[in-house]
Amino acid sequence: MSERLPGINQVRERIYNWHEDKVRHALMYQLMICGRPSEVTGKYKPDPNAVTLVKINKKDAVLFPVRTAKRKGKLRPVALPIKHEPWAEELYEVMREKNPFPSGRTVLRRTEKIFQGMSYPIEEYDKTIKKEGYGDYFSFLLDEKDPNTKHVEKVEAHWREARRHFLRHVRAMDLMNNYGFNGLDLAVYGGWSSSSVEQQLPAITQRYLHLMANEVNIGILTRMAERYFPKLCKEVKT
């Protein structure tokens, strides 16, 4: 029987009860950072030397600098309060290891078993389809602006079987429903595009953000995390 959009505690339990340490840690990390698969085991996988302990509003926290996929690796801060997030310290120790996670392919295969029976909603969207006669070999010839080489099909809203990307949806719902995150908080924490986020930062910080896009600066990332961090510092009953 399918569990449609299961609660955060159900997902946490499935992950934490998995017997392979590296797979479990990869999924724990992805859930906590509200991440995409490539931010864990792909092109934008984390630098083990970057994770650090910080103080935010005089509270102990683990700061994960995350390179955001679909934004050319631009850094975002994920700060977890040690007192209130039970996975924070464990992930801090794990992330300091040289190779904390297995290959993306290994994790993908395991998720079919870990999240078996779970699913999540996909909203209606447009899908670009190559027209017949334009195979992969000639894909470099396609002109996105030329209607003769492609057509768009509308995909109706549906339920999709839970795989790795589903963790991003579950964590976003958790942050909004249980911690009161708004759109700007999610943009900072999860890396959703929002120009208004940077507009609210001082001009000097905005300049440094562009300069340091590919270089970890703990001071700037900590300052960014201050926006949402107080909302995470509470006990939540889910």
Claim to verify: residue 11 and residue 104 sit in the same structural domain: yes
Claim to verify: residue 103 and residue 131 sit in the same structural domain: no
Look at the chain and report how many structural domains it folds into: 2
Instruction: Please indicate, yes or no, if residue 171 is contained in any of the structural domains.
Output: yes
Instruction: Please indicate, yes or no, if residue 237 is contained in any of the structural domains.
Output: no
Entry pTM: 0.80
Claim to verify: residue 110 and residue 18 sit in the same structural domain: yes
Each residue's pLDDT tens digit in the chain (238 positions)?
456 778 899 999 999 999 999 999 999 999 999 999 999 999 999 988 899 999 999 999 999 999 999 888 889 999 999 999 999 999 999 998 888 999 999 998 899 899 998 987 777 877 776 665 545 544 444 455 555 656 677 878 777 788 888 999 999 999 999 999 998 899 899 988 655 455 555 554 454 444 445 567 889 899 999 999 999 999 876 5
Claim to verify: residue 143 and residue 83 sit in the same structural domain: no
Claim to verify: residue 168 and residue 221 sit in the same structural domain: yes
Question: Which pLDDT value is given to residue 124?
Answer: 80
Claim to verify: residue 53 and residue 99 sit in the same structural domain: yes
Claim to verify: residue 83 and residue 172 sit in the same structural domain: yes
Instruction: Please indicate, yes or no, if residue 219 is contained in any of the structural domains.
Output: yes
Claim to verify: residue 102 and residue 147 sit in the same structural domain: no
Claim to verify: residue 43 and residue 129 sit in the same structural domain: no
Claim to verify: residue 18 and residue 63 sit in the same structural domain: yes
Domain that holds residue 152: 123-158
Instruction: Please indicate, yes or no, if residue 238 is contained in any of the structural domains.
Output: no
Claim to verify: residue 41 and residue 145 sit in the same structural domain: no
Q: What secondary structure does DSSP assign to the chain, as a single string? A: --EES--HHHHHHHHHT-S-HHHHHHHHHHHHTT--GGGTTSTTPPPTTT-EEEEETTEEEEEEEEEETTTTTEEEEEEEETTT-TTHHHHHHHHTSSS-S--HHHHHHHHHHHTTTEEEEE--EEEEEEPTT--GGGGGG--TT-TTSEEEEEEPPEEEE--TTHHHHHHHHHHHHHH---HHHHHHHH----HHHHHTS-HHHHHHHHHTTTS--HHHHHHHHTTTHHHHSS----
Question: Which pLDDT value is given to residue 76?
Answer: 92
